[in-house]
Structure 1
Amino acid sequence: YRWSLLYVFALFICGTLNLAFGIKWNQMIWIDDRNFPGGPNAFVSIMFSDPINVTSNAAYLTGNILADAFVLWRCFIIWNSNILIILFPVLMFLGTFVCGIFVMVQTSQPGANLWTRVTVNFLIPYFSLSIALNIIVTLMIVGYLFSHRRSIEASIGKQHAKQYTSVIAMVTESAALYSVFSIIFIIAYGRNDPAQNLFLPALGQVQCIAPLLILLRVAYGRAYTEATS
Protein backbone atom coordinates (compact mmCIF):
# COMPACT_ATOMS: atom_id res chain seq x y z
CA TYR A 1 0.00 0.00 0.00
CA ARG A 2 3.00 2.31 -0.34
CA TRP A 3 1.57 3.80 -3.52
CA SER A 4 -1.66 4.52 -1.64
CA LEU A 5 0.20 6.56 0.96
CA LEU A 6 1.99 8.52 -1.75
CA TYR A 7 -1.29 9.14 -3.54
CA VAL A 8 -3.05 10.26 -0.36
CA PHE A 9 -0.15 12.58 0.44
CA ALA A 10 -0.20 14.10 -3.06
CA LEU A 11 -3.96 14.56 -2.97
CA PHE A 12 -3.78 16.07 0.51
CA ILE A 13 -1.12 18.54 -0.64
CA CYS A 14 -3.23 19.56 -3.64
CA GLY A 15 -6.37 20.00 -1.57
CA THR A 16 -4.55 21.94 1.13
CA LEU A 17 -2.77 24.26 -1.30
CA ASN A 18 -5.99 24.88 -3.19
CA LEU A 19 -7.83 25.74 0.01
CA ALA A 20 -5.05 27.79 1.63
CA PHE A 21 -4.25 29.91 -1.42
CA GLY A 22 -7.95 30.15 -2.23
CA ILE A 23 -8.62 31.62 1.20
CA LYS A 24 -5.75 34.07 0.75
CA TRP A 25 -7.10 35.03 -2.68
CA ASN A 26 -10.54 35.74 -1.22
CA GLN A 27 -8.93 37.75 1.56
CA MET A 28 -7.26 39.88 -1.09
CA ILE A 29 -10.55 40.33 -2.96
CA TRP A 30 -12.82 41.19 -0.05
CA ILE A 31 -10.48 42.62 2.60
CA ASP A 32 -6.97 43.63 1.56
CA ASP A 33 -7.93 45.19 -1.79
CA ARG A 34 -11.57 45.97 -1.06
CA ASN A 35 -11.09 49.53 -2.31
CA PHE A 36 -9.62 48.48 -5.65
CA PRO A 37 -10.98 50.75 -8.43
CA GLY A 38 -14.16 49.14 -9.67
CA GLY A 39 -14.59 46.98 -6.59
CA PRO A 40 -14.06 43.23 -6.05
CA ASN A 41 -15.37 42.28 -9.50
CA ALA A 42 -12.84 44.51 -11.21
CA PHE A 43 -10.09 43.18 -8.97
CA VAL A 44 -10.89 39.58 -9.91
CA SER A 45 -11.06 40.39 -13.62
CA ILE A 46 -7.78 42.30 -13.68
CA MET A 47 -5.76 40.44 -11.04
CA PHE A 48 -6.87 36.88 -11.79
CA SER A 49 -3.34 35.99 -12.90
CA ASP A 50 -1.93 36.90 -9.48
CA PRO A 51 0.52 34.17 -8.30
CA ILE A 52 -1.67 33.45 -5.27
CA ASN A 53 -4.66 32.61 -7.43
CA VAL A 54 -2.56 30.82 -10.04
CA THR A 55 -1.13 28.55 -7.33
CA SER A 56 -4.63 27.76 -6.07
CA ASN A 57 -5.80 26.95 -9.60
CA ALA A 58 -2.72 24.84 -10.31
CA ALA A 59 -3.34 22.82 -7.15
CA TYR A 60 -6.96 22.34 -8.19
CA LEU A 61 -6.05 21.14 -11.69
CA THR A 62 -3.39 18.78 -10.35
CA GLY A 63 -5.85 17.37 -7.82
CA ASN A 64 -8.42 16.96 -10.56
CA ILE A 65 -5.99 14.98 -12.71
CA LEU A 66 -5.10 12.75 -9.76
CA ALA A 67 -8.76 12.21 -8.89
CA ASP A 68 -9.77 11.39 -12.47
CA ALA A 69 -6.84 9.01 -12.84
CA PHE A 70 -7.82 7.22 -9.64
CA VAL A 71 -11.43 6.78 -10.71
CA LEU A 72 -10.19 5.37 -14.02
CA TRP A 73 -8.02 2.92 -12.11
CA ARG A 74 -10.98 1.82 -9.98
CA CYS A 75 -13.06 1.26 -13.09
CA PHE A 76 -10.21 -0.77 -14.58
CA ILE A 77 -10.00 -2.94 -11.45
CA ILE A 78 -13.75 -3.45 -11.12
CA TRP A 79 -14.05 -4.41 -14.79
CA ASN A 80 -11.45 -7.16 -14.28
CA SER A 81 -8.58 -5.17 -15.82
CA ASN A 82 -10.29 -4.99 -19.20
CA ILE A 83 -8.28 -2.46 -21.19
CA LEU A 84 -10.82 -2.19 -24.00
CA ILE A 85 -13.53 -1.14 -21.55
CA ILE A 86 -11.62 1.90 -20.33
CA LEU A 87 -10.07 2.86 -23.68
CA PHE A 88 -12.64 5.57 -24.39
CA PRO A 89 -12.53 6.99 -20.82
CA VAL A 90 -8.73 7.12 -21.08
CA LEU A 91 -8.99 9.19 -24.26
CA MET A 92 -11.38 11.52 -22.45
CA PHE A 93 -8.91 11.75 -19.59
CA LEU A 94 -6.14 12.76 -21.98
CA GLY A 95 -8.44 15.39 -23.48
CA THR A 96 -9.17 16.72 -20.00
CA PHE A 97 -5.46 16.87 -19.25
CA VAL A 98 -4.65 18.82 -22.42
CA CYS A 99 -7.53 21.27 -21.94
CA GLY A 100 -6.48 21.75 -18.32
CA ILE A 101 -2.97 22.70 -19.38
CA PHE A 102 -4.34 25.25 -21.86
CA VAL A 103 -6.63 26.71 -19.19
CA MET A 104 -3.75 26.98 -16.75
CA VAL A 105 -1.52 28.70 -19.28
CA GLN A 106 -4.26 31.07 -20.40
CA THR A 107 -5.38 32.12 -16.92
CA SER A 108 -1.75 32.80 -15.99
CA GLN A 109 -1.51 35.54 -18.60
CA PRO A 110 -1.77 39.16 -17.37
CA GLY A 111 -5.32 40.45 -17.65
CA ALA A 112 -6.80 37.01 -18.27
CA ASN A 113 -9.54 35.43 -16.16
CA LEU A 114 -12.10 32.63 -16.24
CA TRP A 115 -14.54 34.68 -18.28
CA THR A 116 -12.41 35.84 -21.20
CA ARG A 117 -13.41 34.30 -24.51
CA VAL A 118 -10.19 32.33 -25.03
CA THR A 119 -10.31 30.88 -21.52
CA VAL A 120 -13.97 29.93 -21.82
CA ASN A 121 -13.21 28.12 -25.08
CA PHE A 122 -10.92 25.77 -23.14
CA LEU A 123 -12.54 25.85 -19.71
CA ILE A 124 -15.96 24.60 -20.79
CA PRO A 125 -14.47 21.65 -22.75
CA TYR A 126 -12.20 20.94 -19.77
CA PHE A 127 -15.03 20.75 -17.26
CA SER A 128 -17.34 19.06 -19.74
CA LEU A 129 -14.81 16.31 -20.47
CA SER A 130 -13.96 15.89 -16.79
CA ILE A 131 -17.61 15.72 -15.79
CA ALA A 132 -18.52 13.43 -18.69
CA LEU A 133 -15.59 11.19 -17.77
CA ASN A 134 -16.74 10.93 -14.17
CA ILE A 135 -20.37 10.34 -15.14
CA ILE A 136 -19.43 7.62 -17.63
CA VAL A 137 -17.06 5.92 -15.21
CA THR A 138 -19.63 6.25 -12.41
CA LEU A 139 -22.28 4.57 -14.56
CA MET A 140 -19.82 1.88 -15.64
CA ILE A 141 -18.87 1.05 -12.05
CA VAL A 142 -22.41 1.14 -10.71
CA GLY A 143 -23.66 -0.79 -13.73
CA TYR A 144 -21.07 -3.51 -13.25
CA LEU A 145 -21.71 -3.86 -9.52
CA PHE A 146 -25.47 -3.87 -10.05
CA SER A 147 -25.40 -6.34 -12.94
CA HIS A 148 -23.10 -8.68 -11.03
CA ARG A 149 -24.98 -8.33 -7.78
CA ARG A 150 -26.42 -11.82 -7.91
CA SER A 151 -23.14 -13.46 -8.84
CA ILE A 152 -21.37 -11.59 -6.05
CA GLU A 153 -24.03 -12.71 -3.58
CA ALA A 154 -23.76 -16.27 -4.86
CA SER A 155 -19.98 -16.37 -4.53
CA ILE A 156 -19.51 -14.74 -1.13
CA GLY A 157 -22.99 -14.79 0.38
CA LYS A 158 -25.76 -12.23 0.47
CA GLN A 159 -24.80 -10.89 3.88
CA HIS A 160 -21.17 -10.27 2.91
CA ALA A 161 -22.10 -8.92 -0.52
CA LYS A 162 -23.86 -5.92 1.01
CA GLN A 163 -20.56 -4.13 1.49
CA TYR A 164 -20.09 -4.17 -2.29
CA THR A 165 -23.64 -3.85 -3.60
CA SER A 166 -25.41 -1.49 -1.20
CA VAL A 167 -26.39 1.96 -2.47
CA ILE A 168 -23.83 3.65 -0.22
CA ALA A 169 -21.10 1.27 -1.39
CA MET A 170 -21.83 1.83 -5.07
CA VAL A 171 -22.02 5.60 -4.68
CA THR A 172 -18.70 5.62 -2.82
CA GLU A 173 -16.95 3.20 -5.19
CA SER A 174 -18.00 5.23 -8.22
CA ALA A 175 -17.04 8.64 -6.79
CA ALA A 176 -20.55 9.86 -7.59
CA LEU A 177 -20.15 12.65 -5.03
CA TYR A 178 -17.73 14.49 -7.31
CA SER A 179 -19.89 13.91 -10.38
CA VAL A 180 -22.91 15.53 -8.72
CA PHE A 181 -20.96 18.60 -7.60
CA SER A 182 -19.36 18.92 -11.04
CA ILE A 183 -22.69 18.86 -12.84
CA ILE A 184 -24.12 21.56 -10.59
CA PHE A 185 -21.06 23.75 -11.12
CA ILE A 186 -20.87 23.45 -14.91
CA ILE A 187 -24.57 24.31 -15.21
CA ALA A 188 -24.09 27.39 -13.02
CA TYR A 189 -20.92 28.39 -14.89
CA GLY A 190 -22.53 27.93 -18.30
CA ARG A 191 -25.43 30.16 -17.24
CA ASN A 192 -23.07 32.64 -15.55
CA ASP A 193 -25.03 32.07 -12.36
CA PRO A 194 -23.50 33.44 -9.12
CA ALA A 195 -23.96 29.96 -7.63
CA GLN A 196 -20.79 28.95 -9.47
CA ASN A 197 -18.82 30.89 -6.85
CA LEU A 198 -20.31 28.64 -4.18
CA PHE A 199 -19.58 25.32 -5.84
CA LEU A 200 -16.18 26.00 -7.42
CA PRO A 201 -14.26 26.26 -4.11
CA ALA A 202 -16.07 23.20 -2.77
CA LEU A 203 -15.31 21.28 -5.95
CA GLY A 204 -11.59 21.40 -5.22
CA GLN A 205 -12.15 19.64 -1.91
CA VAL A 206 -14.85 17.22 -3.07
CA GLN A 207 -12.61 15.92 -5.85
CA CYS A 208 -10.04 15.04 -3.18
CA ILE A 209 -12.57 13.56 -0.76
CA ALA A 210 -14.14 11.14 -3.26
CA PRO A 211 -10.95 9.11 -3.94
CA LEU A 212 -10.04 9.15 -0.25
CA LEU A 213 -13.40 7.57 0.61
CA ILE A 214 -12.61 4.77 -1.82
CA LEU A 215 -9.12 4.34 -0.38
CA LEU A 216 -10.65 4.18 3.08
CA ARG A 217 -12.79 1.27 1.91
CA VAL A 218 -9.68 -0.35 0.44
CA ALA A 219 -7.84 0.06 3.75
CA TYR A 220 -10.73 -1.57 5.62
CA GLY A 221 -10.91 -4.39 3.09
CA ARG A 222 -14.41 -3.40 1.98
CA ALA A 223 -13.61 -2.25 -1.54
CA TYR A 224 -14.39 -4.30 -4.63
CA THR A 225 -11.24 -5.94 -5.99
CA GLU A 226 -10.22 -8.42 -8.66
CA ALA A 227 -10.28 -11.11 -5.98
CA THR A 228 -13.93 -10.30 -5.27
CA SER A 229 -14.87 -10.91 -8.88
Structure 2
Amino acid sequence: MSSSNATNETTEQLWFEQSINAAVYIGAMAWGLHAAVCYNAARTIILDKNKSSKIWLPFISTLFIMATINICCSINFNQLAWIDERGFPGGPLAFIVTQQNRPVNTASLATSIITIFLADGFLVHRCHVLWKKFYITGTLTLVLLASTVMSILHCVQASRANAALWDQTTLNLSVPYASLAMSLNILLTIVLVWRLLDLRRRLPITVTEEVRQRYNGVEALIVETALPYGLVSFIFVVLYGLGNTGSNLFVPLLVQLEGIIPALIIVRMIEGHAWSTDTLRRVGPAVHVFRGQEGRAAQETAPTTDDVSMFNLGNHSAHSLDIKVPANLV
Protein backbone atom coordinates (compact mmCIF):
# COMPACT_ATOMS: atom_id res chain seq x y z
CA MET A 1 0.00 0.00 0.00
CA SER A 2 1.59 3.26 -1.15
CA SER A 3 1.59 6.38 0.99
CA SER A 4 0.19 9.65 -0.29
CA ASN A 5 3.38 11.29 0.94
CA ALA A 6 5.68 9.00 -1.03
CA THR A 7 8.20 10.53 -3.42
CA ASN A 8 7.32 10.68 -7.09
CA GLU A 9 10.81 9.59 -8.16
CA THR A 10 11.26 6.49 -10.27
CA THR A 11 12.19 3.20 -8.65
CA GLU A 12 15.72 3.43 -10.04
CA GLN A 13 16.24 6.95 -8.71
CA LEU A 14 14.84 6.04 -5.30
CA TRP A 15 17.08 2.95 -5.07
CA PHE A 16 20.09 5.09 -5.97
CA GLU A 17 19.37 7.50 -3.11
CA GLN A 18 18.63 4.64 -0.72
CA SER A 19 21.90 2.91 -1.57
CA ILE A 20 23.93 6.09 -0.92
CA ASN A 21 22.18 6.62 2.40
CA ALA A 22 22.45 2.96 3.50
CA ALA A 23 26.13 2.80 2.52
CA VAL A 24 27.00 5.47 5.09
CA TYR A 25 25.13 3.56 7.82
CA ILE A 26 26.98 0.37 6.90
CA GLY A 27 30.27 2.25 6.94
CA ALA A 28 29.44 3.76 10.34
CA MET A 29 28.76 0.31 11.80
CA ALA A 30 32.03 -0.95 10.33
CA TRP A 31 33.80 2.05 11.86
CA GLY A 32 32.60 0.89 15.29
CA LEU A 33 34.24 -2.48 14.66
CA HIS A 34 37.33 -0.69 13.38
CA ALA A 35 37.53 1.37 16.59
CA ALA A 36 37.38 -1.79 18.74
CA VAL A 37 40.00 -3.57 16.63
CA CYS A 38 42.27 -0.51 16.63
CA TYR A 39 42.02 -0.21 20.42
CA ASN A 40 42.91 -3.87 20.87
CA ALA A 41 45.83 -3.58 18.44
CA ALA A 42 47.16 -0.42 20.10
CA ARG A 43 46.89 -2.03 23.54
CA THR A 44 48.72 -5.13 22.29
CA ILE A 45 51.50 -3.02 20.80
CA ILE A 46 51.92 -0.84 23.89
CA LEU A 47 52.01 -3.80 26.29
CA ASP A 48 54.44 -5.77 24.15
CA LYS A 49 57.97 -5.77 25.61
CA ASN A 50 59.57 -5.92 22.20
CA LYS A 51 60.35 -2.30 21.28
CA SER A 52 60.54 -3.10 17.58
CA SER A 53 56.77 -3.72 17.53
CA LYS A 54 56.13 -0.06 18.45
CA ILE A 55 56.68 0.86 14.81
CA TRP A 56 53.19 -0.47 14.05
CA LEU A 57 51.44 1.98 16.38
CA PRO A 58 51.73 5.02 14.04
CA PHE A 59 50.67 2.79 11.15
CA ILE A 60 47.39 1.56 12.64
CA SER A 61 46.75 5.03 14.08
CA THR A 62 47.08 6.60 10.63
CA LEU A 63 44.72 4.04 9.13
CA PHE A 64 42.17 4.68 11.87
CA ILE A 65 42.42 8.47 11.53
CA MET A 66 41.99 8.31 7.75
CA ALA A 67 39.03 5.94 8.07
CA THR A 68 37.46 8.19 10.71
CA ILE A 69 37.80 11.30 8.55
CA ASN A 70 36.37 9.35 5.63
CA ILE A 71 33.20 8.24 7.40
CA CYS A 72 32.71 11.68 8.99
CA CYS A 73 32.94 13.34 5.58
CA SER A 74 30.51 10.81 4.11
CA ILE A 75 28.02 11.49 6.91
CA ASN A 76 28.36 15.24 6.39
CA PHE A 77 27.83 14.94 2.64
CA ASN A 78 24.65 12.97 3.28
CA GLN A 79 23.52 15.65 5.70
CA LEU A 80 24.06 18.29 3.03
CA ALA A 81 22.07 16.31 0.47
CA TRP A 82 19.06 15.40 2.63
CA ILE A 83 18.92 18.12 5.29
CA ASP A 84 20.98 21.27 4.85
CA GLU A 85 20.34 21.66 1.11
CA ARG A 86 17.18 19.65 0.61
CA GLY A 87 15.85 22.51 -1.52
CA PHE A 88 18.61 21.99 -4.12
CA PRO A 89 17.16 22.12 -7.67
CA GLY A 90 16.36 18.53 -8.60
CA GLY A 91 16.41 17.30 -5.01
CA PRO A 92 18.96 15.12 -3.20
CA LEU A 93 19.62 13.02 -6.28
CA ALA A 94 20.72 16.04 -8.29
CA PHE A 95 22.84 17.26 -5.36
CA ILE A 96 24.64 13.91 -5.03
CA VAL A 97 25.34 13.65 -8.74
CA THR A 98 26.40 17.23 -9.43
CA GLN A 99 28.09 18.28 -6.17
CA GLN A 100 30.89 15.72 -6.02
CA ASN A 101 33.40 18.57 -6.12
CA ARG A 102 32.41 19.73 -2.63
CA PRO A 103 35.50 19.88 -0.34
CA VAL A 104 33.94 17.45 2.11
CA ASN A 105 33.47 14.86 -0.62
CA THR A 106 36.97 15.45 -1.99
CA ALA A 107 38.35 14.87 1.52
CA SER A 108 36.36 11.64 1.74
CA LEU A 109 37.79 10.41 -1.55
CA ALA A 110 41.36 11.48 -0.68
CA THR A 111 41.33 9.70 2.68
CA SER A 112 40.03 6.52 1.05
CA ILE A 113 42.92 6.64 -1.42
CA ILE A 114 45.48 7.07 1.37
CA THR A 115 43.90 4.24 3.36
CA ILE A 116 43.85 1.80 0.46
CA PHE A 117 47.48 2.63 -0.40
CA LEU A 118 48.66 1.95 3.17
CA ALA A 119 46.56 -1.22 3.53
CA ASP A 120 47.63 -2.66 0.17
CA GLY A 121 51.25 -1.72 0.86
CA PHE A 122 51.07 -3.67 4.12
CA LEU A 123 49.56 -6.70 2.38
CA VAL A 124 52.27 -6.57 -0.28
CA HIS A 125 54.78 -6.65 2.58
CA ARG A 126 53.00 -9.69 4.02
CA CYS A 127 53.19 -11.44 0.65
CA HIS A 128 56.92 -10.74 0.58
CA VAL A 129 57.36 -12.11 4.11
CA LEU A 130 55.53 -15.33 3.23
CA TRP A 131 56.91 -15.89 -0.25
CA LYS A 132 60.36 -14.27 -0.40
CA LYS A 133 60.02 -14.24 -4.18
CA PHE A 134 61.19 -11.15 -6.05
CA TYR A 135 58.89 -11.68 -9.02
CA ILE A 136 55.83 -11.86 -6.76
CA THR A 137 56.76 -8.83 -4.66
CA GLY A 138 57.84 -6.87 -7.74
CA THR A 139 54.63 -7.58 -9.65
CA LEU A 140 52.41 -6.66 -6.72
CA THR A 141 54.39 -3.46 -6.11
CA LEU A 142 54.05 -2.39 -9.74
CA VAL A 143 50.29 -2.98 -9.65
CA LEU A 144 50.10 -1.01 -6.39
CA LEU A 145 51.97 1.94 -7.92
CA ALA A 146 49.78 1.87 -11.04
CA SER A 147 46.66 1.74 -8.87
CA THR A 148 47.90 4.68 -6.80
CA VAL A 149 48.55 6.81 -9.89
CA MET A 150 45.10 5.99 -11.26
CA SER A 151 43.50 6.79 -7.91
CA ILE A 152 45.12 10.23 -7.79
CA LEU A 153 43.97 11.00 -11.33
CA HIS A 154 40.50 9.77 -10.44
CA CYS A 155 40.41 12.01 -7.36
CA VAL A 156 41.38 15.04 -9.43
CA GLN A 157 38.78 14.27 -12.08
CA ALA A 158 35.99 13.51 -9.59
CA SER A 159 36.63 16.81 -7.79
CA ARG A 160 35.87 18.82 -10.91
CA ALA A 161 32.62 20.74 -11.09
CA ASN A 162 29.63 18.65 -12.15
CA ALA A 163 31.69 15.46 -11.98
CA ALA A 164 30.48 12.30 -10.28
CA LEU A 165 31.57 8.74 -9.77
CA TRP A 166 28.56 7.58 -11.81
CA ASP A 167 28.69 10.24 -14.53
CA GLN A 168 29.86 9.21 -17.99
CA THR A 169 32.42 12.03 -18.00
CA THR A 170 34.29 10.40 -15.14
CA LEU A 171 33.83 6.75 -16.11
CA ASN A 172 36.92 6.98 -18.35
CA LEU A 173 39.07 6.97 -15.19
CA SER A 174 36.75 5.75 -12.45
CA VAL A 175 36.12 2.33 -13.99
CA PRO A 176 39.82 1.60 -14.68
CA TYR A 177 40.71 2.94 -11.22
CA ALA A 178 38.11 0.83 -9.43
CA SER A 179 38.95 -2.23 -11.51
CA LEU A 180 42.69 -1.92 -10.90
CA ALA A 181 42.40 -1.13 -7.19
CA MET A 182 39.89 -3.88 -6.44
CA SER A 183 41.72 -6.37 -8.66
CA LEU A 184 44.85 -5.75 -6.61
CA ASN A 185 42.90 -6.50 -3.43
CA ILE A 186 41.60 -9.73 -4.95
CA LEU A 187 45.08 -10.66 -6.22
CA LEU A 188 46.61 -10.08 -2.78
CA THR A 189 44.01 -12.35 -1.20
CA ILE A 190 44.61 -15.08 -3.79
CA VAL A 191 48.39 -14.93 -3.31
CA LEU A 192 48.05 -15.07 0.48
CA VAL A 193 45.49 -17.91 0.40
CA TRP A 194 47.69 -19.92 -1.95
CA ARG A 195 50.74 -19.54 0.29
CA LEU A 196 48.96 -20.20 3.58
CA LEU A 197 47.30 -23.35 2.26
CA ASP A 198 50.72 -24.58 1.15
CA LEU A 199 52.25 -23.83 4.56
CA ARG A 200 49.33 -25.48 6.35
CA ARG A 201 49.86 -28.61 4.25
CA ARG A 202 53.52 -28.76 5.25
CA LEU A 203 52.89 -28.38 8.97
CA PRO A 204 54.06 -31.58 10.77
CA ILE A 205 51.18 -33.83 11.76
CA THR A 206 52.73 -34.31 15.20
CA VAL A 207 52.29 -30.72 16.34
CA THR A 208 50.20 -30.13 19.43
CA GLU A 209 46.53 -29.23 19.12
CA GLU A 210 47.29 -25.73 20.42
CA VAL A 211 49.83 -25.11 17.66
CA ARG A 212 47.52 -26.60 15.05
CA GLN A 213 44.66 -24.32 16.08
CA ARG A 214 46.99 -21.33 16.12
CA TYR A 215 48.18 -21.78 12.54
CA ASN A 216 45.49 -23.95 10.92
CA GLY A 217 42.39 -22.45 12.52
CA VAL A 218 39.67 -20.64 10.62
CA GLU A 219 40.73 -17.35 12.22
CA ALA A 220 44.25 -17.67 10.82
CA LEU A 221 42.98 -18.37 7.31
CA ILE A 222 40.38 -15.59 7.28
CA VAL A 223 42.53 -12.90 8.89
CA GLU A 224 45.94 -13.55 7.39
CA THR A 225 44.63 -13.93 3.86
CA ALA A 226 42.59 -10.69 4.13
CA LEU A 227 39.66 -12.79 2.90
CA PRO A 228 36.85 -10.33 3.85
CA TYR A 229 38.74 -7.56 2.07
CA GLY A 230 39.14 -9.62 -1.10
CA LEU A 231 35.54 -10.85 -1.15
CA VAL A 232 34.01 -7.39 -0.67
CA SER A 233 36.37 -5.99 -3.32
CA PHE A 234 35.29 -8.71 -5.74
CA ILE A 235 31.59 -8.02 -5.18
CA PHE A 236 32.11 -4.28 -5.56
CA VAL A 237 34.16 -4.42 -8.77
CA VAL A 238 31.65 -6.78 -10.43
CA LEU A 239 28.65 -4.63 -9.51
CA TYR A 240 30.39 -1.38 -10.37
CA GLY A 241 31.66 -2.70 -13.68
CA LEU A 242 28.10 -3.71 -14.55
CA GLY A 243 26.81 -0.28 -13.55
CA ASN A 244 24.73 -1.79 -10.75
CA THR A 245 23.61 0.69 -8.10
CA GLY A 246 24.23 -1.92 -5.40
CA SER A 247 27.96 -1.22 -5.67
CA ASN A 248 27.38 2.00 -3.69
CA LEU A 249 26.71 -0.08 -0.57
CA PHE A 250 30.28 -1.32 -0.36
CA VAL A 251 32.34 1.88 -0.73
CA PRO A 252 32.42 3.09 2.93
CA LEU A 253 32.63 -0.52 4.12
CA LEU A 254 35.77 -1.12 2.06
CA VAL A 255 37.50 1.88 3.60
CA GLN A 256 36.93 0.51 7.10
CA LEU A 257 38.05 -2.99 6.09
CA GLU A 258 41.27 -1.47 4.80
CA GLY A 259 42.02 -0.47 8.39
CA ILE A 260 40.57 -3.50 10.17
CA ILE A 261 42.43 -6.28 8.34
CA PRO A 262 45.99 -4.92 8.81
CA ALA A 263 45.30 -4.27 12.51
CA LEU A 264 44.12 -7.86 13.01
CA ILE A 265 47.19 -9.24 11.24
CA ILE A 266 49.52 -7.03 13.30
CA VAL A 267 47.98 -8.37 16.52
CA ARG A 268 48.71 -11.92 15.37
CA MET A 269 52.25 -10.92 14.45
CA ILE A 270 52.98 -9.41 17.85
CA GLU A 271 51.43 -12.36 19.68
CA GLY A 272 53.61 -14.72 17.64
CA HIS A 273 50.66 -16.40 15.90
CA ALA A 274 51.23 -15.09 12.38
CA TRP A 275 52.70 -17.25 9.64
CA SER A 276 56.18 -16.50 8.33
CA THR A 277 58.85 -18.37 6.37
CA ASP A 278 60.49 -19.62 9.57
CA THR A 279 57.29 -20.87 11.23
CA LEU A 280 57.97 -24.47 10.20
CA ARG A 281 61.49 -24.22 11.60
CA ARG A 282 60.22 -22.88 14.90
CA VAL A 283 57.40 -25.35 15.47
CA GLY A 284 58.94 -28.32 13.69
CA PRO A 285 61.86 -29.39 15.91
CA ALA A 286 60.19 -28.20 19.11
CA VAL A 287 57.15 -30.43 18.77
CA HIS A 288 58.24 -33.08 16.29
CA VAL A 289 58.58 -36.56 17.75
CA PHE A 290 61.13 -38.73 15.97
CA ARG A 291 60.66 -41.87 18.02
CA GLY A 292 57.83 -43.31 20.11
CA GLN A 293 54.43 -41.79 20.66
CA GLU A 294 53.81 -38.09 21.04
CA GLY A 295 53.96 -37.02 24.65
CA ARG A 296 55.64 -40.24 25.81
CA ALA A 297 58.91 -38.57 26.62
CA ALA A 298 57.26 -35.88 28.72
CA GLN A 299 56.25 -38.59 31.20
CA GLU A 300 59.67 -40.21 31.41
CA THR A 301 62.53 -39.42 33.69
CA ALA A 302 65.87 -38.27 32.35
CA PRO A 303 66.85 -40.77 29.64
CA THR A 304 70.02 -42.77 29.79
CA THR A 305 70.03 -43.63 26.11
CA ASP A 306 70.46 -41.58 23.00
CA ASP A 307 66.80 -41.79 22.01
CA VAL A 308 65.67 -38.64 20.24
CA SER A 309 62.42 -37.51 21.81
CA MET A 310 60.63 -34.39 22.95
CA PHE A 311 62.43 -34.58 26.28
CA ASN A 312 66.01 -34.73 25.16
CA LEU A 313 65.44 -32.26 22.33
CA GLY A 314 65.03 -29.71 25.07
CA ASN A 315 67.68 -31.19 27.38
CA HIS A 316 71.06 -30.04 26.15
CA SER A 317 72.88 -30.76 29.41
CA ALA A 318 72.85 -34.53 28.92
CA HIS A 319 73.68 -34.68 25.25
CA SER A 320 74.71 -32.21 22.60
CA LEU A 321 72.49 -33.03 19.68
CA ASP A 322 72.42 -31.44 16.27
CA ILE A 323 68.86 -31.96 15.13
CA LYS A 324 67.96 -30.47 11.77
CA VAL A 325 64.56 -29.94 10.25
CA PRO A 326 63.79 -32.44 7.49
CA ALA A 327 64.35 -30.92 4.08
CA ASN A 328 60.75 -31.43 3.01
CA LEU A 329 59.50 -29.19 5.86
CA VAL A 330 61.36 -26.03 4.91
Instruction: Please give the alpha-carbon distance, in whole angstroms, between the structure 2 residues aligned to 1:187 and 1:137.
Output: 17
Q: Which moved more, 1:190-199 or 1:204-213?
A: 190-199
> 1:12, 1:147 → 2: CA distance?
32
Q: How big is the shift at 1:57?
A: 0.8
Contact kept in structure 2, 1:17 and 1:59, CA below 8 Å: yes
Deviations 1:113-143 (A, max 9, x none): 1123342122222222222222222122111
How big is the shift at 1:151? 2.5
* Alignment of 1:64 onto 2:116: yes
Amino acid at match of 2:182: I
Q: The residue matched to 1:56 in structure 2 has which SS?
A: helix
How far residue 153 of structure 1 moved from its aligned partner, in angstroms, is 3.0
Once the two structures are TM-superposed, the CA of residue 5 in structure 1 deviates from its matched residue by 0.6
Q: Which residue of the partner structure matches residue 128 of structure 2?
A: 76
Q: What secondary structure does 2:70 align onto?
A: helix
Superposed counterparts of 1:32-111, under 5 Å: 32-79=84-131, 81-111=132-162
Q: Among residues 186, 197, 200, which one is paired with 2:237 in the alignment?
A: 186
How is 1:90-169 mapped onto 2 (pairs within 5 angstroms)?
Answer: 90-153=141-204, 157=208, 159-169=210-220
Contact 2:153/2:173, CA 8 A, preserved across alignment: yes
Q: Distance in 2 between matches of 1:85 and 1:191?
A: 30
Q: CA RMSD in A?
A: 1.8
Is residue 174 of structure 1 aligned with residue 231 of structure 2? no
Larger CA Rg, structure 1 vs 2: 2
Determine which of 255, 258, 261 is the counterpart of 1:204: 255
Higher helix share: 1
**Structure 1 match to 2:292:** none
Instruction: Note the alpha carbon deviations across 1:132-161, whole angstroms, 9 max, x for none.
Output: 222222122111121222433359556413
Instruction: Please tell me whether the aligned partners of residues 145 and 164 of structure 1 are also in contact (alpha carbons under 8 angstroms).
Output: no
Structure 2 residue runs of 5 or longer lacking an equivalent are: 1-52, 281-330
Give CA-to-partner distance per residue, 1:184-221, whole Å, 9 cap, x none.
22222223323222211212112211111111212322
Q: TM-score, with normalisation over the residues of structure 1?
A: 0.92
1:71-117 CA-to-partner distances (Å, cap 9, x unmatched) read 111111111x3222222211111111111011011011112111233
Which secondary structure state, in structure 1, belongs to the residue aligned with residue 279 of structure 2? Answer: coil
* TM-score normalised over the length of structure 2: 0.65
Distance in 2 between the 1:13 and 1:22 partners? Answer: 14
- 1:153, 1:161 within 8 Å by CA — same for their partners in 2? no
When structure 1 is superposed on structure 2, of 83-92 and 27-36 the one drifting more is 83-92
Moved more, 35-44 or 85-94: 85-94
